[in-house]
A and B are shown apart, each in its own frame.
Chain A
């Protein structure tokens, strides 16, 4: 069965710092990968997704993620964070063989100091 690991539980950065949040998954077959974000008081929403093609995917608000198949990773990056990026970030994976079942990681809370 597939699983997702997010090793950073809480990350604190200053504005304009660069961000990288780790995500590793365990599944040997073809996967679809996602990052969801939950801003304070709001519902979960899709940040970006990877299905195939270019392993570097760009999402909303300047976020991007790189799929590295050999490392089973899909890390989220942003070159310069803003205070408004304060939120909880969830990596998620879907094994292509399991219909549309999506498994989420435990999340990383990102706090940005103004």
Chain B
């Protein structure tokens, strides 16, 4: 079974530039999550989708971050303009359903460095 795919694995940009990350969840998984993991900290939930609808985006900095999952499958997370403090690993995860009994499956992550 293919896992959660993310790209790019690494990205270096200058502050005020924009960047986009892509995630393809495990086939059939209805729920998709984007987490931000800053060095030395645990993953912080940015946004959660159930199919193509947003369940929770309370911690997404909406002035600069946006995410979409238009067809209920793959998803894109965008940052525009980037700040130095956005340097982090952006993790995508998926689960079979919205039920918490479902295990979260994580991708390898996209490491962003903002200079």
Residues of chain A whose beta carbon lies under 8 Å from any beta carbon of chain B: 4, 6, 32, 36, 42-46, 49, 51, 90, 92, 94, 96, 99-107
Contacts and interface: CB of A to CB of B under 8 A. Distances in A.
A66 to B, nearest CB: 20
Contacts of B108: 42-43
B91 A44 contact: yes
B48 interface: yes
Classify the secondary structure of B's interface with A.
Answer: loop
Interface residues of B, number: 28
Interface of B: 3-4, 31, 33, 35, 40-45, 48, 55-56, 91, 93, 95, 98-104, 106-109
A45 B42 contact: no
A94 B106 contact: no
Contact of B103 (A6, A46, A99): A46
A103 B102 contact: no
A100 B102 contact: yes
B100 A104 contact: no
A6 B40 CA distance: 12
B33 to A, nearest CB: 8
